[in-house]
Structure 1
Protein backbone atom coordinates (compact mmCIF):
# COMPACT_ATOMS: atom_id res chain seq x y z
CA UNK A 1 0.00 0.00 0.00
CA UNK A 2 2.82 2.43 0.83
CA UNK A 3 4.29 1.91 -2.64
CA UNK A 4 0.87 2.64 -4.15
CA UNK A 5 0.54 5.87 -2.19
CA UNK A 6 4.04 7.00 -3.15
CA UNK A 7 3.37 6.15 -6.81
CA UNK A 8 0.12 8.16 -6.66
CA UNK A 9 1.95 11.08 -5.05
CA UNK A 10 4.61 10.95 -7.76
CA UNK A 11 2.02 10.98 -10.53
CA UNK A 12 0.21 13.88 -8.89
CA UNK A 13 3.41 15.91 -8.43
CA UNK A 14 4.51 15.34 -12.04
CA UNK A 15 1.04 16.22 -13.39
CA UNK A 16 0.89 19.44 -11.38
CA UNK A 17 4.46 20.35 -12.37
CA UNK A 18 3.79 19.82 -16.07
CA UNK A 19 0.44 21.67 -15.87
CA UNK A 20 2.28 24.63 -14.34
CA UNK A 21 4.91 24.49 -17.09
CA UNK A 22 7.75 24.00 -14.62
CA UNK A 23 10.87 21.86 -14.94
CA UNK A 24 12.06 19.49 -12.24
CA UNK A 25 14.99 21.84 -11.66
CA UNK A 26 12.68 24.81 -11.06
CA UNK A 27 10.41 22.94 -8.64
CA UNK A 28 13.36 21.39 -6.81
CA UNK A 29 15.05 24.79 -6.41
CA UNK A 30 11.84 26.38 -5.12
CA UNK A 31 11.27 23.46 -2.73
CA UNK A 32 14.86 23.52 -1.48
CA UNK A 33 15.65 19.94 -2.52
CA UNK A 34 17.93 18.30 -5.07
CA UNK A 35 16.55 17.63 -8.55
CA UNK A 36 17.42 13.93 -8.26
CA UNK A 37 15.30 13.65 -5.09
CA UNK A 38 12.33 15.26 -6.87
CA UNK A 39 12.84 12.85 -9.76
CA UNK A 40 12.70 9.88 -7.36
CA UNK A 41 9.57 11.28 -5.74
CA UNK A 42 7.90 11.62 -9.13
CA UNK A 43 8.80 8.00 -9.96
CA UNK A 44 7.52 6.78 -6.56
CA UNK A 45 10.98 5.52 -5.63
CA UNK A 46 11.46 7.15 -2.25
CA UNK A 47 11.99 3.79 -0.50
CA UNK A 48 12.07 3.44 3.28
CA UNK A 49 13.29 7.01 3.67
CA UNK A 50 9.90 8.36 2.68
CA UNK A 51 9.11 12.00 2.15
CA UNK A 52 9.34 14.28 5.16
CA UNK A 53 6.77 16.91 6.03
CA UNK A 54 9.11 19.81 5.22
CA UNK A 55 9.81 18.39 1.77
CA UNK A 56 6.10 17.87 1.10
CA UNK A 57 5.32 21.43 2.20
CA UNK A 58 8.15 22.79 0.03
CA UNK A 59 7.00 20.90 -3.06
CA UNK A 60 3.38 21.95 -2.55
CA UNK A 61 4.44 25.59 -2.15
CA UNK A 62 6.63 25.35 -5.26
CA UNK A 63 3.64 24.02 -7.20
CA UNK A 64 1.26 26.61 -5.73
CA UNK A 65 -1.12 24.10 -4.16
CA UNK A 66 -2.08 22.67 -0.78
CA UNK A 67 -0.07 19.76 0.64
CA UNK A 68 -3.26 17.64 0.71
CA UNK A 69 -3.77 18.24 -3.01
CA UNK A 70 -0.20 17.36 -3.97
CA UNK A 71 0.02 14.36 -1.63
CA UNK A 72 -3.46 12.80 -1.44
CA UNK A 73 -4.17 9.95 0.96
CA UNK A 74 -6.71 7.19 0.24
CA UNK A 75 -10.18 8.36 1.24
CA UNK A 76 -12.19 5.16 1.08
CA UNK A 77 -11.99 1.82 2.85
CA UNK A 78 -11.73 0.07 -0.52
CA UNK A 79 -8.42 1.83 -1.19
CA UNK A 80 -6.79 0.72 2.05
CA UNK A 81 -5.48 -2.62 3.23
CA UNK A 82 -5.99 -4.02 6.73
CA UNK A 83 -3.13 -3.62 9.15
CA UNK A 84 -0.94 -6.73 9.09
CA UNK A 85 -0.35 -6.46 12.80
CA UNK A 86 -3.92 -5.64 13.79
CA UNK A 87 -4.22 -8.76 15.95
CA UNK A 88 -1.11 -7.92 17.95
CA UNK A 89 -2.08 -4.23 18.20
CA UNK A 90 -5.36 -5.15 19.86
CA UNK A 91 -3.81 -7.74 22.17
CA UNK A 92 -5.44 -10.64 20.34
CA UNK A 93 -2.23 -11.83 18.75
CA UNK A 94 0.83 -13.58 20.14
CA UNK A 95 2.57 -10.35 21.21
CA UNK A 96 1.36 -8.80 24.42
CA UNK A 97 2.75 -6.21 26.74
CA UNK A 98 2.63 -6.30 30.50
CA UNK A 99 0.77 -3.48 32.17
CA UNK A 100 2.87 -1.54 34.70
CA UNK A 101 2.08 1.19 37.14
CA UNK A 102 3.81 4.55 37.36
CA UNK A 103 7.00 4.53 39.37
CA UNK A 104 7.81 0.86 38.84
CA UNK A 105 10.58 -0.67 36.81
CA UNK A 106 10.64 -3.76 34.68
CA UNK A 107 11.80 -6.87 36.59
CA UNK A 108 15.14 -6.91 34.74
CA UNK A 109 16.00 -3.35 35.75
CA UNK A 110 14.74 -3.50 39.34
CA UNK A 111 16.41 -6.78 40.30
CA UNK A 112 18.31 -6.25 43.55
CA UNK A 113 17.01 -2.72 44.05
CA UNK A 114 14.23 -1.43 46.19
CA UNK A 115 11.92 0.86 44.28
CA UNK A 116 10.58 3.91 46.11
CA UNK A 117 7.54 5.93 45.16
CA UNK A 118 9.64 8.16 42.90
CA UNK A 119 10.48 6.74 39.49
CA UNK A 120 14.19 6.16 39.02
CA UNK A 121 15.25 6.52 42.67
CA UNK A 122 16.92 3.83 44.77
CA UNK A 123 16.28 3.12 48.42
CA UNK A 124 20.02 3.26 49.18
CA UNK A 125 20.35 6.87 47.93
Structure 2
Protein backbone atom coordinates (compact mmCIF):
# COMPACT_ATOMS: atom_id res chain seq x y z
CA UNK A 1 0.00 0.00 0.00
CA UNK A 2 1.33 3.43 -0.97
CA UNK A 3 2.09 5.86 1.83
CA UNK A 4 2.99 9.54 1.83
CA UNK A 5 4.68 11.97 4.15
CA UNK A 6 3.18 15.32 5.02
CA UNK A 7 5.88 16.99 2.91
CA UNK A 8 5.04 14.88 -0.13
CA UNK A 9 1.33 15.67 0.11
CA UNK A 10 2.00 19.36 0.72
CA UNK A 11 4.20 19.48 -2.37
CA UNK A 12 1.78 17.48 -4.53
CA UNK A 13 -1.24 19.65 -3.67
CA UNK A 14 0.70 22.91 -3.36
CA UNK A 15 -0.43 23.60 0.20
CA UNK A 16 1.45 23.97 3.47
CA UNK A 17 2.02 21.17 5.97
CA UNK A 18 0.22 23.43 8.44
CA UNK A 19 -2.92 23.27 6.27
CA UNK A 20 -2.71 19.48 6.24
CA UNK A 21 -2.36 19.42 10.03
CA UNK A 22 -5.40 21.72 10.27
CA UNK A 23 -7.47 19.32 8.15
CA UNK A 24 -6.27 16.53 10.42
CA UNK A 25 -7.39 18.52 13.48
CA UNK A 26 -10.80 18.92 11.82
CA UNK A 27 -11.11 15.14 11.47
CA UNK A 28 -10.79 15.11 7.68
CA UNK A 29 -7.53 13.14 7.71
CA UNK A 30 -6.29 10.47 10.10
CA UNK A 31 -2.68 9.52 9.40
CA UNK A 32 -0.86 6.75 11.22
CA UNK A 33 1.98 7.77 13.51
CA UNK A 34 5.48 6.32 13.36
CA UNK A 35 8.91 7.03 14.72
CA UNK A 36 9.96 8.27 18.15
CA UNK A 37 6.90 9.27 20.17
CA UNK A 38 4.76 8.98 17.03
CA UNK A 39 6.15 12.21 15.63
CA UNK A 40 6.04 11.23 11.96
CA UNK A 41 2.70 11.23 10.17
CA UNK A 42 2.19 8.52 7.56
CA UNK A 43 -0.66 9.13 5.12
CA UNK A 44 -2.33 6.36 3.15
CA UNK A 45 -3.91 6.49 -0.29
CA UNK A 46 -7.21 6.96 1.52
CA UNK A 47 -5.85 10.03 3.33
CA UNK A 48 -4.57 11.36 0.01
CA UNK A 49 -8.04 10.92 -1.52
CA UNK A 50 -9.65 12.64 1.48
CA UNK A 51 -7.23 15.55 1.10
CA UNK A 52 -8.00 15.76 -2.62
CA UNK A 53 -11.76 15.77 -1.91
CA UNK A 54 -11.28 18.37 0.83
CA UNK A 55 -9.39 20.71 -1.46
CA UNK A 56 -11.92 20.22 -4.25
CA UNK A 57 -14.75 20.97 -1.81
CA UNK A 58 -12.95 24.11 -0.63
CA UNK A 59 -12.55 25.28 -4.24
CA UNK A 60 -16.29 24.78 -4.69
CA UNK A 61 -16.88 26.88 -1.59
CA UNK A 62 -18.21 24.11 0.64
CA UNK A 63 -17.79 24.43 4.39
CA UNK A 64 -15.46 22.04 6.19
CA UNK A 65 -18.46 20.49 7.97
CA UNK A 66 -20.13 19.79 4.60
CA UNK A 67 -16.89 18.34 3.25
CA UNK A 68 -16.51 16.16 6.33
CA UNK A 69 -20.08 14.90 5.98
CA UNK A 70 -19.48 14.04 2.34
CA UNK A 71 -16.25 12.20 3.12
CA UNK A 72 -17.94 10.26 5.93
CA UNK A 73 -20.79 9.45 3.58
CA UNK A 74 -18.39 7.70 1.21
CA UNK A 75 -16.75 5.76 4.04
CA UNK A 76 -19.93 3.91 4.93
CA UNK A 77 -21.92 2.71 1.91
CA UNK A 78 -24.78 1.53 4.15
CA UNK A 79 -27.67 3.49 2.64
CA UNK A 80 -26.82 4.84 -0.77
CA UNK A 81 -30.21 6.51 -1.26
CA UNK A 82 -29.97 8.49 2.00
CA UNK A 83 -26.37 9.43 1.21
CA UNK A 84 -27.26 10.68 -2.24
CA UNK A 85 -30.20 12.67 -0.88
CA UNK A 86 -27.90 14.22 1.71
CA UNK A 87 -25.36 15.08 -0.97
CA UNK A 88 -28.08 16.66 -3.11
CA UNK A 89 -29.18 18.78 -0.14
CA UNK A 90 -25.62 20.03 0.36
CA UNK A 91 -25.36 20.87 -3.32
CA UNK A 92 -28.75 22.63 -3.33
CA UNK A 93 -27.76 24.79 -0.35
CA UNK A 94 -24.47 25.65 -1.97
CA UNK A 95 -26.14 26.42 -5.31
CA UNK A 96 -28.59 28.79 -3.57
CA UNK A 97 -25.71 30.59 -1.85
CA UNK A 98 -23.78 30.96 -5.10
CA UNK A 99 -26.84 32.20 -6.98
CA UNK A 100 -27.44 34.84 -4.29
CA UNK A 101 -23.80 35.88 -4.48
CA UNK A 102 -24.05 36.12 -8.27
CA UNK A 103 -27.13 38.33 -7.96
CA UNK A 104 -25.36 40.54 -5.42
CA UNK A 105 -22.33 40.83 -7.71
CA UNK A 106 -24.52 41.82 -10.68
CA UNK A 107 -26.15 44.55 -8.60
CA UNK A 108 -22.76 45.84 -7.49
CA UNK A 109 -21.44 45.78 -11.07
CA UNK A 110 -24.46 47.78 -12.24
CA UNK A 111 -23.81 50.36 -9.53
CA UNK A 112 -20.14 50.57 -10.55
CA UNK A 113 -21.12 51.06 -14.21
CA UNK A 114 -23.47 53.89 -13.22
CA UNK A 115 -20.76 55.62 -11.17
CA UNK A 116 -18.23 55.17 -13.97
CA UNK A 117 -20.61 56.71 -16.54
CA UNK A 118 -21.35 59.67 -14.27
CA UNK A 119 -17.67 60.17 -13.56
CA UNK A 120 -16.82 60.11 -17.28
CA UNK A 121 -19.58 62.68 -17.94
CA UNK A 122 -18.30 64.94 -15.17
CA UNK A 123 -14.76 64.57 -16.45
CA UNK A 124 -15.89 65.61 -19.94
CA UNK A 125 -17.66 68.64 -18.47
CA UNK A 126 -14.48 69.61 -16.62
CA UNK A 127 -12.44 69.32 -19.82
CA UNK A 128 -15.10 71.25 -21.81
CA UNK A 129 -15.13 74.04 -19.24
CA UNK A 130 -11.33 74.31 -19.27
CA UNK A 131 -11.16 74.41 -23.07
CA UNK A 132 -13.46 77.48 -23.32
TM-score by length of 2: 0.30
TM-score by length of 1: 0.31
| Structure having the larger proportion of residues in strand | 2
